[in-house]
Amino acid sequence: MSMDPATLQAIRDQLPNPFTPMAFLPPDLAFQVMISLYTIVGSLAVMIWDMATNIGADYRLLTQYRIGPSTIIYFISRWASLAYLLALTILETAPVDNCYRIRWIQILFPLAIPFTSLLFFLRVQALYDRNKWVVGFFGILWLSVLGGCITPIFGIRGSNIGITKYCINSSLEPYVSAAAITPFINDTLVFIATTYRLMQNAHAEEGLKNKAKVAFLGHKLPVLSKALLLDGQAYYLTTISLNLVTASLFFNTSIPIVYRSFIGVPNIVLMNAMACHVFRNVKFGVFRASTIASNRTLPSRAPYGSAVVFPSNQTTTLDAGTRGGIQVMTTTEVFELDNKRQSSTEHLEQKSGLV
């Protein structure tokens, strides 16, 4: 915190170790700073652990699958989140001296959160491929997330702790709240849109109770649609709570700036870990075996419609393609393929990038 030179010199002469940063802070503020440091370091540790445990899966993405836009976005999201947390940890724990650098570190923030949200925009794009209005709306919504996440670059300032080279967040502008509010709104609407679209694949009876079972439990949904729905719920429920806490703490001016400025850090880890988990599940087709078994029980003909499915040896399609890393296939008939059709199905899978 800034003090006049005479006060700093007087404090320095009375301290056994004047270069200990916490000695220049009141006890309550020093406690708050230590809690924030533990939280930031812990968040970095969780991020490193998540990346280390999934290094094999990331290697498979690079070597066994076609590297498309969704895969590139996935890795930008992962490494930008790690880089931001690492840089923030260094700034808050090391004697960097020039605390203005906190603004430069915040440049990584618009790469971390928005690219994580972009993974779910690609899901909406795949599900609503033929509805340009919906895709356009969510595209604009994602741009608002990007704009909101730029605000910390200008709205967070740091200053030296006493005469030391250590830094502390000293200023937090009100408009920085956009960095928490816009992802929250985006995630909420994405979840509603994907849930509504996946519910259309259900074979449930009419009625509010049956629709509620579909929406919350995936009742009567195909295997893959149910998996996508439940994975989306897991992501949403883990991030909505922390987003709400972040926003409410930010607007509570009775809470110290130290707490209000770091509470969003764990949210970066949770959002990235859950979003990338969902992406890997879809990309690797972990539900493919169950989906194939499910397809064998379907009738020989099905109504025309679009659904997000993994190709199997039991389907033929009128149209197929990869949209946002998820294959969307327009199915007209479902029936057993003979040996002559197996090779064309394998070619379709390879083209989709799912195998």
Q: What is the DSSP letter of 202?
A: -
Q: Residue 182's domain is classified under what CATH number?
A: 1.20.1070
Q: From CA 325, how far away is CA 31, in angstroms rounded?
A: 46
Residue 349: pLDDT band by 50, 70, 90 thresholds?
Answer: very low
Q: Is 355 inside a domain boundary?
A: no
Q: Is 312 inside a domain boundary?
A: no
Q: Is 22 inside a domain boundary?
A: no
Cα angle 143-180-199, degrees, rounded to a multiple of 5: 70
- Other beta carbons within 10 angstroms of residue 191's beta carbon come to 19
For residue 171, what is the enclosing H or E element?
strand 167-172
Q: Is 317 inside a domain boundary?
A: no
Q: From CA 318, how far away is CA 335, in angstroms rounded?
A: 14
pLDDT digit string, tens, across residues 155-166: 888 888 877 888
pLDDT, mean of residues 238-263: 76
Q: What is the DSSP letter of 170?
A: E
Q: From CA 163, how far away is CA 175, in angstroms rounded?
A: 30
Phi/psi for 319 (5° steps) reads -145, 145
Beta strand segments in 89-154, E: none
Q: Is 305 inside a domain boundary?
A: no
DSSP string, 272-338: HHHHHHHHHHHHHTTTHHHHHHHHTTS-SEEEEEEEE----TTEEEEEEEEETTEEEEEEEEE----
> What is the reported pLDDT for 21?
76
Residues 6+ apart with CB under 8 A from 75: 58, 61
pLDDT digit string, tens, across residues 254-283: 777 777 777 788 889 988 998 888 888 878
The pLDDT mean for the chain works out to 73
DSSP string, 51-66: HHHTHHHHHHHHHTS-
Q: From CA 182, how far away is CA 243, in angstroms rounded?
A: 10
Residues in a beta bridge with 322? 327
Q: Is 84 inside a domain boundary?
A: yes
Please choose, from the candidates 27, 207, 190, the residue with its C-alpha nearest in 3D space to the C-alpha of residue 124: 190
The distance of Cα 8 from the centroid of its chain, to the nearest Å, equals 44
Where do we find the tokens 């926003």? 247
Please choose, from the candidates 309, 314, 346, the residue with its C-alpha nearest in 3D space to the C-alpha of residue 329: 309
Kindly tell me if the per-residue pLDDT of 53 is higher than 80: yes
Q: Of the segments 46-50, 95-99, 277-281, which one has the largest average pLDDT value?
A: 46-50
> What is the reported pLDDT for 198?
72
Q: From CA 258, how far away is CA 172, in angstroms rounded?
A: 9
Please choose, from the candidates 172, 185, 167, 181, the residue with its C-alpha nearest in 3D space to the C-alpha of residue 253: 172
Q: Is 70 inside a domain boundary?
A: yes
pTM: 0.72
pLDDT, mean of residues 76-83: 94
The torsion defined by the Cα of 317, 318, 324 and 325, in degrees rounded to 10, comes to 30
Residues in a beta bridge with 334? 315
Specify the amino acid at residue 25.
L
Q: Is 153 inside a domain boundary?
A: yes
For residue 158, what is the enclosing H or E element?
strand 156-160
The dihedral through the CA atoms of 46, 52, 56, 59 has a sign that is positive
pLDDT digit string, tens, across residues 134-187: 999 999 999 999 999 999 888 888 888 877 888 887 778 888 888 888 988 998
Q: Looking at the 3D structure of the chain, how many domains does it have?
A: 1
Domain with 230, as residue range(s), is: 29-207+220-295
